Each structure stands twice: as C-alpha cells, then as structure tokens.
Chains A and B, each alone.
Chain A
Amino acid sequence: QSALTQPPSVSGSPGQSVTISCTGTSSDVGSNDRVSWYQQPPGTAPKLMIFEVSNRPSGVPDRFSGSKSGNTASLTISGLQAEDEADYYCSLYTSSSTLVFGGGTKLTVL
C-alpha cells in the first residue's frame, strides 16, 4: 500500500494559523480526491474533520479547512485554540478499494 507522509509535529500560538501536510505520490494523492482528515485528542476516538479534500462535516468549525496541491493535501487550522491540541491524521481511499492513513501529526498549542 502507498504511504502518506505527515510531519511528526507542528505547533502554534493561540490565534495563529497552522498547516499540516500529507504527502503522497502522483499515483495516489495526486490523482484522487478521497483525502480525509481526523482529529484525535488524547484518549479519545478519532473525529472526522474534513472529507474529500475540502469538505467539512456539520458541526466542524470553519476554522478548519482542507486543500490539495499536486501530491500534497493540507489541513489548515486558523485562529488556533487550546482545544485544537490533538493528533491529526490524513487518510486516502485508494483506487484498489483500500484505505491508508498517514503517520499522524501532533499539534501543540503553545
């Protein structure tokens, strides 16, 4: 299966914006819009934040946005809040009907 690469950690101060990247290849992220993002605070189940690159489920603040450029998908959190501190995972549904997750990024709010 393909591997999705995320930075191990990112950080930002309250009110700032941070972006988490999710890099694949031209054969997966680059040719497929089935990229999703999940938020996982410690000790809890993951929560869907973005689906199909840039769509927000009902109830997710509009501070969270998703995008894609080439082989890299990105999650941007603007107006950072203390409650945003969590692990974030990207995922990709592949053309082989399988699903792969990125390695995860720990967001620290300074």
Chain B
Amino acid sequence: QVQLQESGPGLVKPSQTLSLTCTVSGGSISIGGYYWTWIRQHPGKGLEWIGYIYYTGNTYYNPSLKSRVTMSVDTSKNQFSLKLSSVTAADTAVYYCATDRGLRGWFDPWGQGTLVTVSS
C-alpha cells in the first residue's frame, strides 16, 4: 500500500521560492502508470490542482500556475518535489501530494498535507 508524506519549510518569505518534497513509501515511484500530483487548499477554501509528474519527468501543470511551477522526480530517493516561484500571501495554503493511477483523474492515496505560510 503506497503512502505519501509531504515535507518542507512551513514559512516562506514573499517573492521567494516555495519548495516541498513528497516521499513515497510502500512502493516504487517508478511504478508504471502512477502519476504523482500536488494539490493545495487555501485556508477555509476549496481544492486547487497544481500539476502531475510521471517518473520519466513528463509533467502536466495547471495553466493558472504554469509560469511559476516546476515539478521533479528523484527516483533514487523515491521522492517527487514541487517548486513554486515568486510566492505571495495568496500562495499560503495546505499543500497535499497524492497519486493518480493511470491518469484517470482520481487521487488515492493522499498525504496528510503540510501548511505553508507566505509571510515576511
């Protein structure tokens, strides 16, 4: 059973780059057909899909965030990562990693989420 765990700084200054890592346990990140995903949730608000990455490095990003998002995979560490540049207070959110088996548009499992606050 694949499990996911997010990690990274809980506080980022405005204009800097937010960096988060998701560690995959219970299975290989190189499993064929598994697409690794980042999703965020602003405080008290709904869910926002950020993007997908496949273990080969292929990516699909939310058009509204595409100019600031970079996702990567480290198969040796069984991790995938998110970088979001030029952050503002509007990027304050709980960030979740999750997986989509087969790019079918549904996510299971999810990580527990990590709160990132953008503030000086």
Residues of A with Cβ closer than 8 Å to B? 1, 34-36, 38, 45-48, 51-52, 57, 89, 91-93, 97-104
Contact = CB atoms under 8 A, between A and B. Distances in A.
B106 to A, nearest CB: 4
Contacts of B60: 97-98
Contacts of A102: 46
Contacts, number: 65
15 contacts: A34-B106, A36-B106, A38-B47, A45-B112, A46-B47, A46-B96, A47-B110, A52-B106, A89-B46, A91-B49, A91-B105, A93-B103, A97-B103, A100-B49, A101-B46
B111 A45 contact: yes
Given A48-B107, A57-B108, A97-B52, 9 more contacts: A1-B62, A34-B105, A36-B105, A45-B110, A52-B105, A52-B106, A92-B105, A97-B103, A99-B37
Q: Is the interface of B mostly helix, strand, loop or mixed?
A: loop
Contact of A51 (B46, B47, B96, B104): B104
Nearest to B60: A97
Contacts of B107: 36, 38, 46, 48
Contacts of B48: 101
A7 to B, nearest CB: 13
Contacts of A46: 47, 96, 107, 110
